[in-house]
């Protein structure tokens, strides 16, 4: 076992990609159901997980993040796609 070592937490984190919504089915489906129920309880009509994605991208832009940074955080491959969220 000499020479065999697990990466430290910091090493794993430095390699991890950062996304706003890195979830996939079925967790994403459950998250959507929880979000819908919460929005219904407080009277917000028409909200979706995508609404929060749009808001997050818009807020990052207002905070001064560059388009390529926002694309990386939001999981977009092309900054052109990010531009559509910013109005």
Q: Find how far residue 54's CA is from the centre of its chain.
A: 10
Contact by Cβ (8 Å): 21, 56 = no
Domain assignments of the chain as residue spans, ordered by start = 18-83
Q: How many CB atoms lie within 10 A of CB 11?
A: 11
pLDDT per position as a tens digit, 3-52: 566 656 565 555 555 555 565 556 777 888 888 899 999 999 888 888 88
More confident site: 75 or 20: 75
Position 16 scores a pLDDT of 53
């Amino acid at each position: 076992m000499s020479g065999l070592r697990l990466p430290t937490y910091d090493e794993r984190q430095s390699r991890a990609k950062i996304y706003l919504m890195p979830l996939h089915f079925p967790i994403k489906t459950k998250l959507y159901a929880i979000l819908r129920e919460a929005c219904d309880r407080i009277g917000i009509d028409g909200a979706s997980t995508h609404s929060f994605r749009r808001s997050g991208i818009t807020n990052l832009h207002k905070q001064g993040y560059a388009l390529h940074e926002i694309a990386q955080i939001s999981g977009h491959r092309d900054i052109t796609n990010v531009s559509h969220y910013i109005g």
